[in-house]
Amino acid sequence: MSRKKRILVVDDELSIRKVLSALLAREGHEVDTAEDGAMAIHRLDQDPFDLVISDLRMPKVDGMELLSWCRTNHPGLPVILITAHGTVDSAVVAMKAGAFNYICKPFDQDELRAIVGTALRTEEASRRRLQDDPAGRFEIIGRTPPMRAVYELIGRVAPSPSTVLVTGESGTGKELVARALHTQSDRAAGPFIQVNCGAIPENLFESELFGHEKGAFTGAVLSRQGRVELADGGTLFLDEVGELPRDLQVKLLRVLQDRSFERVGGARKITVDVRLVAATNRDLERDVREGRFREDLFYRLNVIRFRLPPLRDRAEDIPLLAQHFLQRCNQRLRRDVRAIGPEAMAVLCAWRWPGNIRELENVMERAVLLCPGDTITPGDLGDGLGVEASPTPTTSALEGEPNLKDVVRQNTMRLERARIQRALEGEGGNVTHAAKRLGISRKGLQLKMKEYGLREER
């Protein structure tokens, strides 16, 4: 590996901490320890680590809570859980929650070495992939920590046959995740069949999903395959699955349980090999509590859960997405708009985007189409983003709104801070290497880190 790796060992037993520290130090790693999850979170907030090895059962903050915190705050950080109370159920729960691996006490040293080595190699490979790709992965745009977590989960889940539930607000890219799961799986050569459950009339739902036999109802002059049957050997993507009528929820549950169904008007049992990916912008847990969605179907769908962040929670990705849509709209609309001006970019970054990525794409299409020159200005963005549709938009200080120059400065600082963070993460906290990557001096980077409250690695 390219550098010495830093490992955090978390266990409430001093003897375990000592044994693991000695074992990992002999392998050439730099090891730090914490006696519980709360102390581990404090250490992870202070310094960068490449791997966490944690006991499952500890006082204050246990291993599962620590794992959950890591998935949110350090999504690329692998976590290995160790426990003396290992069962198949707890192992499955830990792996579903995002643990890299799971091992029981008393552990075999060779097995632990192998698991640690694999985790560190995987972490380094993931880090390099993110560094090499300027936009993202799997044809999804974004490099912020929430999106890195999505990419990592796609890479781990795609090869499996497990059912996946993708949740998130409308316009956050749920279909892109479903397609990535398909193209990265061994079913990539098979069909990808998409069904928008919110766009099919209720009286046609059953026929659309399961097909029908000739004469099954008025107008059924021929037998017809349904979407489930067409997806055999591939992936079935049920978009807006929360809109599925309750009577069809029972039949979908049977497909998940038995991989079989009958066409409308038919008696022949049809068996299929289908990987199901479902998506929704609804709160299915609330729908279950209120009786609108079957609890047993929800648990069948919720095997692996992707939660896509809204665009407002990953604002540092807005410039990447805006440039991507600029290029795509230029090609589709046969335009030659070459740039997004800094004032226009500041407006884009300051907007809350209630319609998420889909809204940004529509705004960029409008801007490219109406831009009179080769650079997009705030006036080209229209009046929907809090700016006037004029070439020289201004904001009234008397109304309490920020000056446009202040908006530009604030967003430039926010983007600069995010870029410095990415460089430091990419170099494992090494300030000298991060400064080289950024093209500035070490002293200059240290001043920026102080300005933005980024603590240098000790």
At the fourth CATH level, which superfamily is domain 405-452? Homeodomain-like (1.10.10.60)
Residue 175 has pLDDT above 50, yes or no: yes
The 8 Å CB, 24+ separation contacts for 99-108 are 99/67, 105/16, 107/82
The top-scoring range by mean pLDDT among 188-192, 215-219, 427-431 is 188-192
Yes or no: say if 454 and 420 are a contact pair by the CB < 8 Å rule: yes
Q: Is the pLDDT of residue 174 over 90?
A: yes
Instruction: Judge whether residue 216 has pLDDT over 50.
Output: yes
> What are the residue ranges of CATH 1.10.10.60 in the chain?
405-452
Average the pLDDT over each of 82-91, 160-169, 309-318 and give the range with the smallest value: 82-91
How many residues in total does the chain contain? 458
**H/E stretch holding 130:** helix 109-132
What's the CATH architecture for 312-393? Orthogonal Bundle (1.10)
Please check whether the domain covering 158-309 is classified as CATH 3.40.50.300.
yes
* Span(s) in the chain for CATH 3.40.50.300: 158-309
Residues of the chain with CATH 1.10.8.60: 312-393
pLDDT, tens digit, 9 for 90 and up, residues 24-45 = 999 889 999 999 888 998 888 7
Which pLDDT tens digit goes with each residue over 86-114?
555 676 677 777 788 888 877 788 888 88
User: pLDDT > 70: what percent of the chain?
Assistant: 86
Domain with CATH 3.40.50.2300 in the chain: 6-129
Task: Classify domain 6-129 by CATH architecture.
Answer: 3-Layer(aba) Sandwich (3.40)
Task: Provide the CA 363 distance to its chain's centre, in angstroms.
Answer: 24
> Do residues 359 and 353 lie in contact, with contact meaning Cβ atoms separated by under 8 Å?
yes
Q: Give the CA distances from residue 6 to residues 29, 31, 245, in Å, rounded to whole numbers and listed in that order.
A: 6, 6, 51
pLDDT at 235: 95
Angstrom CA distances, 406 to 350, 390, 448, stand at 11, 19, 19
CA distances from 329 to 324, 370, 449 (A): 9, 12, 37
Q: What is the pTM of this model?
A: 0.60
Amino acid identity of 36? D
